[in-house]
């Protein structure tokens, strides 16, 4: 499996914000649910900053799963607020699993490398 590798945590986190914004754009439904109010809003009415916000732990508009048969949002089994969490390696770089190329639109400042078990302490 390939990973994106960054020299700083800040660049890795910024990249995760862009990837998440691209994930929101790719949601098939035009609607996003505000988990703080339970209201559904049209994603086209939100700015990127409103949809993504700064901290994945406090996002009001996460991406819900969809029932394949009915296309209804699956509100009972959770939702996504980030592609991944960047992890620091023993070498001081920051990594996370590479998303699909379509989610990397607008992303720079990384290298792609295969997973290396030497990035992390032995268990």
Say yes or no to pLDDT of 80 above 70: yes
Q: What is the pLDDT of residue 95?
A: 98
Structure tokens given for 80:
């996504």
Q: If 0-12 CB within 10 Å is exposed, 13-18 middle and 19+ buried, where does residue 60 land?
A: middle
Higher pLDDT among residues 67 and 21, named by residue: 21
Say yes or no to pLDDT of 47 above 80: no
Say yes or no to pLDDT of 119 above 90: yes
Mean pLDDT of the chain: 84
Of 1-15, 23-37, 101-115, the one with minimum mean pLDDT is 23-37
Q: What is the pLDDT of residue 89?
A: 97
The answer to whether residues 120 and 87 touch, using CB atoms and an 8 Å cutoff, is: yes
Say yes or no to pLDDT of 115 above 90: yes
CA distance 21 to 51: 8
Domain-wise residue ranges, the chain: 2-117
What average pLDDT score do residues 21-28 get?
A: 81
The winner for highest mean pLDDT among 37-41, 68-72, 92-96 is 92-96
């Amino acid at each position: 499996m390939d990973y994106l590798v960054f020299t700083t945590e800040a660049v890795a986190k910024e990249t995760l914000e862009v990837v998440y914004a691209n994930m929101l754009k790719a949601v098939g439904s035009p609607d996003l649910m505000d988990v703080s109010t339970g209201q559904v809003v049209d994603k086209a009415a939100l700015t990127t900053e409103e949809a993504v916000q700064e901290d994945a732990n406090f996002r009001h508009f996460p991406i819900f799963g969809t029932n394949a048969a009915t296309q209804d949002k699956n509100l009972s089994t959770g939702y996504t607020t980030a592609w991944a969490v960047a992890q620091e390696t023993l070498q001081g770089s920051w990594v996370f699993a590479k998303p699909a190329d379509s989610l990397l639109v607008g992303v720079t400042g990384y290298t792609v490398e295969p997973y290396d078990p030497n990035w992390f302490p032995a268990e």
